[in-house]
Amino acid sequence: MLDPQFFALTLADWILIGTSFFASFMAAVAGLGGGVLLLAVMISFFPPAVVIPLHGVIQLGSNGFRALIMRQFFKQDILLAFTFGSILAAIIGSQVAVSLDETLLKVILGIFILYMVWGPKISPVNMTRKFRFYLGGFISTFASLFIGASGPITAAFMGREKMSKEAKVATHAAVMSIQHGFKIIIFGFLGFAFFDYALLMTLMLLTGMLGTYAGRHMLFKIPESVFQVLSKTVITLLALRLLYSALLA
């Protein structure tokens, strides 16, 4: 028998539940973008203090399920390096989560993402492959505490790695799962009441899993060249969106 709360869901709740499906579908096909789409819709209904931790839970579910069903593709060495950087960021970020200017962070990250996608490659002498992923884990996890959706940052670091589209999507999903997991722990310690949103989160997690499953099948049908163009285009648009939102602040 359905919980009476089920019928108490508002129109906004159902919009978010539907958006979770489409966001997960987009992320499974293009490798990213779903988190930003979901964040943009959620911020229309909830204040930032509620959106960022809730968004972390939904994204953990979406990315975790995508990583699980594509686990044979992801690169473990990249995941380990990102995880190490994420741990450091979680420790430091938990101490300054309320003191950094969000507008300044958006400008820095937007410019940085555009450079990582379109700028000249950094010489291996200056930055080793492993250090690049340590740094990627640190920067993206730290940023996720303030802007919520850090997928484009992670993707920018991974974009320079030569691997198949399946490996990029799977590895990105695994890395993002780690990041959102740390973020949830931090906001839990800071006292956020996740249980108050239990029903909404559960339904969004379920539709997110369905979207991920549908998008996974679409991914296998997309040519590698098309995926590369799509991925770069999405990352660039998301970076420009960060800069635009900073200008409006």
3-state secondary structure the chain: CCCHHHHHCCHHHHHHHHHHHHHHHHHHHHCCCHHHHHHHHHCCCCCHHHHHHHHHHHHHHHHHHHHHHCCCCCCHHHHHHHHHHHHHHHHHHHHHCCCCCHHHHHHHHHHHHHHHHHCCCCCCCCCCHHHHHHHHHHHHHHHHHHHCCCHHHHHHHHCCCCCCHHHHHHHHHHHHHHHHHHHHHHHHHCCCCHHHHHHHHHHHHHHHHHHHHHHHHHHCCCCHHHHHHHHHHHHHHHHHHHHHHHHHC
- Alpha-carbon span 199 to 5, nearest angstrom: 8
pLDDT tier, 150 (very low <50, low <70, confident <90, very high otherwise): confident
Of residues 140 and 207, more confidence is placed in 207
| Largest Cα–Cα separation, the chain | 63
At 2, the pLDDT band (50, 70, 90 cuts) reads very low
Round to whole Å and give the CA distance between 222 and 13: 32
* pLDDT above 60 for 122: no
Q: Which tokens sit at 199?
A: 């029903």
Q: 200: left (phi > 0), else alpha (psi -120 to 50), else beta?
A: alpha
User: Does 83 score more than 50 pLDDT?
Assistant: yes
Percent of the chain with pLDDT over 70: 80
CA distance 245 to 48: 14
> Is the Cβ–Cβ distance between 148 and 227 less than 8 Å?
no
Cα torsion 27, 136, 246, 53: sign: positive
Name the more confident of 50 and 231: 50
Q: Is the pLDDT of residue 202 over 90?
A: yes
pLDDT tens per residue, range 10-30: 888 999 999 899 888 887 776
pTM: 0.72
Higher pLDDT, 93 or 218: 218
**Closest of 59, 41, 39 to residue 211, by C-alpha:** 59
Q: Which residue has the tokens 């044979």?
A: 72
> Half-sphere exposure of 33 toward its Cβ, with a 13 Å CA cutoff?
20
Q: What is the mean pLDDT of the chain?
A: 78
pLDDT tens digits along 57-71: 998 888 888 888 888
Q: Could you tell me the pLDDT band of residue 125, with boundaries at 50, 70 and 90?
A: very low
Structure-token pair, residue 135: 């740094």
Q: Which residue from 136, 129, 116, 132 is spatially nearest to 238, judged by alpha carbons?
A: 116
91 vs 208, higher pLDDT? 208
Q: How confident is the model at residue 105 (pLDDT cuts 50, 70, 90)?
A: low
Residue 124: pLDDT band (50, 70, 90) is: very low
